[in-house]
Amino acid sequence: MNLNQITIPVIDLKRSIAFYQLLGLELIVHTNAHYARFVCPDGTTTFSLHVVEDLPAGDGIWLYFEVEDVDQQVSELKAKGIVFEDEPVDQSWLWREVRLKDPDSNQLLIFHAGEYRLNPPWRLEKE
């Protein structure tokens, strides 16, 4: 099994399409006023937007986009006008990450984990 598609709820599809294109995702499907799909620039993972009347309550959706160089990516995105909640930081779980929100307040993290994403020192042993 492979997770290869994520769909998140949005209110304004046009605004969200523009935001995710600014992040660097490539729009590959836009069939109507309620749905759009992107492919990530690295790999084959697809990501889609679906218009809803009301966004979920609570913390919302958290999306993680991995890049090789978080600081460089942040600099490039800031130059395009993207606003971040903080600056890149090295986390105790051995990832470097930075947070921002999309137009619908979904939490986005741009991070680099490298080998530690699948193999942290505290990974469970196979049975």
Helix (H, G, I), strand (E, B) or coil at 6: strand
pLDDT at residue 2 above 90? no
State which fold the 5-117 domain adopts.
2,3-Dihydroxybiphenyl 1,2-Dioxygenase; domain 1 (3.10.180)
Q: Which ranges of the chain does DSSP label H, i.e. alpha helix?
A: 13-23, 70-79
* Amino acid letter, 59: D
Domain ranges of the chain: 5-117
**Backbone φ, ψ for residue 55 (5° rounding):** -80, 155
pLDDT at residue 72 above 90? yes
pLDDT in tens, 22-31: 999 999 999 8
Count CB neighbours of 38 within 10 A. Answer: 21
pLDDT-derived band at 99 (thresholds 50, 70, 90) equals very high
